């Protein structure tokens, strides 16, 4: 067993032992469940359903079709295979024979879509073995989403580069204003800098002026992007990771204004947004000092209440934050009581964004920072914007 799999198994057994769970049954078909890869790594060219069984009191087991069984890397994990569906059901039933409660990637009522990876029919099939199926949401967060020191270092390097590049992007706008620079050209500049810094390009970035910044996921294209002009409000959201295997992502959003005097309304909304951001972070810090874990929905409510009291509640249209890992939106707890209701604890060793936003018809403001919860408390890993960037020209 590789060290990483061994650690995952040990941590999952520790969690299950403390939570009266007899085993964790991870199921995947055609890479529909990313938790499988987080657990055992990528297995190429898998064509049939397969399972990874981690019982609380005995050794783990891979269950796979005979067609795919040789695709797994050589480890000391025992393997069982089958040829027909009838054989698969028999093997599964025998494997679960001594278990009563097992965890799977299932969320009651699909409350957490990120967790709900196993289809209803497969859950029904597993239940025929006489077991109760419970959600693995907290289990896989604890055993697969906690960062190592190297994970944190890769994230911090990506964070530093993103901050450098967002400053450069605002300067690029000012330097090229007389050339009628467009949102798309700024996005292209950011992508070119990612290439120069050996960073991943997935989708994005968001470069949005005025009413476009009211769309949280606006992405400019070459034909329809706006020319950036004097007195424009500009929102830039950029995310990436180092182009090295296993690197952790970073994700930030900043806003700026083309001109010397920021309009009063823009400044007021900006102040409310960063006030909500800082209020959420302070709440986490205070909770840690009291030795208390905070749930994802709880911290979302804190920031949402702050914005509601300021009179802009209806314009905060998305959750407060998302998990960050190898993917920009990863598989640990989200800060959410709005789109979903994430009851998972924010535990030491995970990273997440805090990104409140207010999206008015004429402009939008979002301030996004990344936070890592260390054993010593929450640490912002990205620079915290305190005022809109003045874009000089």
Among 144, 176, 202, identify where a domain stops. 144
| Domain span including residue 158 | 149-391
Whole-angstrom Cα distance, residue 116 to residue 105? Answer: 5
Among 144, 166, 190, identify where a domain stops. 144
The pLDDT value recorded for residue 2 is 45
In this structure, the answer to whether residues 205 and 322 fall within a common structural domain is yes
What's the CATH code of the domain at 244?
A: 3.90.230.10
In this structure, the answer to whether residues 234 and 377 fall within a common structural domain is yes
In this structure, the answer to whether residues 168 and 138 fall within a common structural domain is no
Render pLDDT for 251-300 as a digit per residue (tens, 0 to 9).
999 999 999 999 999 999 999 999 999 999 999 999 999 999 999 999 99
In this structure, the answer to whether residues 15 and 29 fall within a common structural domain is yes
Q: What is the pTM (predicted TM-score) of this model?
A: 0.94
In this structure, the answer to whether residues 11 and 157 fall within a common structural domain is no
Whole-angstrom Cα distance, residue 87 to residue 386? Answer: 62
Residues of the chain under the 50 pLDDT cut: 1-2
Residue 180 backbone class (left: φ over 0; alpha: ψ -120 to 50; beta: rest): left
Report the number of distinct structural domains present in the chain. 2
Among 144, 167, 189, identify where a domain stops. 144
The pLDDT value recorded for residue 73 is 84
Instruction: Answer yes or no: are the C-beta atoms of 174 and 258 closer than 8 Å.
Output: yes
In this structure, the answer to whether residues 317 and 344 fall within a common structural domain is yes
In this structure, the answer to whether residues 108 and 172 fall within a common structural domain is no
Q: How many CB atoms lie within 10 A of CB 354?
A: 27
Please state whether beta strands 294-295 and 250-258 pair in parallel, antiparallel, or not at all (unpaired). unpaired
Render pLDDT for 6-59 as a digit per residue (tens, 0 to 9).
999 999 999 999 999 999 999 999 999 999 999 998 999 999 999 999 999 999
In this structure, the answer to whether residues 130 and 183 fall within a common structural domain is no
Whole-angstrom Cα distance, residue 39 to residue 50? Answer: 13
In this structure, the answer to whether residues 16 and 31 fall within a common structural domain is yes
In this structure, the answer to whether residues 32 and 84 fall within a common structural domain is yes
In this structure, the answer to whether residues 161 and 84 fall within a common structural domain is no
In this structure, the answer to whether residues 329 and 366 fall within a common structural domain is yes
DSSP bridge pairs for 81? 64
What's the CATH code of the domain at 125?
A: 3.40.350.10
Q: 392 Cβ partners below 8 Å, 6+ apart?
A: 174, 260
């Amino acid at each position: 067993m590789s060290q990483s799999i061994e650690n995952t198994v040990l941590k999952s057994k520790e969690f299950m032992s403390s939570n009266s769970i007899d085993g964790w049954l991870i199921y995947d078909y055609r890479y529909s469940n990313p938790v499988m890869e987080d657990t055992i790594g990528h297995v190429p060219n898998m064509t049939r359903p397969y399972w990874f069984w981690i019982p609380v009191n005995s050794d783990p087991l891979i269950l796979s079709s005979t067609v795919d069984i040789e695709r797994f890397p050589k480890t000391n994990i025992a393997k069982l295979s089958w040829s027909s569906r009838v054989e698969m059901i028999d093997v599964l039933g025998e494997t679960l024979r001594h278990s009563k409660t097992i965890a799977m990637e299932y969320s009651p009522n699909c409350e957490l879509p990120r967790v709900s990876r196993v289809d209803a029919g497969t859950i029904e099939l597993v239940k025929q073995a006489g077991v109760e199926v419970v959600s693995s949401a907290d289990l896989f967060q604890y055993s697969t989403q906690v960062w190592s020191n190297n994970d944190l270092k890769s994230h911090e390097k990506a964070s530093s580069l993103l901050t450098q590049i967002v400053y450069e992007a605002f300067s690029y706008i000012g330097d090229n204003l007389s050339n009628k620079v467009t949102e798309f050209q700024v996005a292209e500049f950011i992508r070119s800098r990612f290439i120069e810094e050996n960073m991943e390009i997935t989708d994005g970035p968001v470069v949005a002026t005025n009413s476009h910044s009211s769309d949280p996921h606006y992405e400019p294209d070459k034909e329809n992007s706006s020319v950036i002009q004097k007195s424009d409000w500009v929102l830039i959201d950029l995310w990436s990771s180092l182009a090295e295997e296993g690197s952790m992502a970073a994700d930030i959003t900043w806003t700026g204004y083309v001109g010397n005097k920021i309009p009063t309304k823009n400044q007021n909304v900006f102040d409310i947004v960063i006030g909500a951001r800082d209020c959420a972070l302070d709440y986490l810090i205070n909770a840690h000092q009291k030795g208390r874990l905070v749930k994802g929905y709880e911290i979302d409510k804190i920031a949402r209440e702050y914005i509601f009291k300021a009179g802009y509640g209806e314009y905060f249209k998305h959750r407060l934050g998302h998990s960050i890992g190898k993917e920009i939106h990863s598989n640990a707890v989200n800060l959410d009581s709005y789109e979903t209701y994430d009851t998972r604890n924010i535990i030491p060793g995970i990273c997440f964004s805090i990104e409140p936003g207010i999206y008015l018809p004429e402009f939008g403001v979002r301030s996004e920072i990344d936070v890592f919860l260390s054993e010593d408390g929450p640490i912002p890993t990205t620079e915290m914007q305190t005022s809109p960037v003045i874009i000089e020209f």
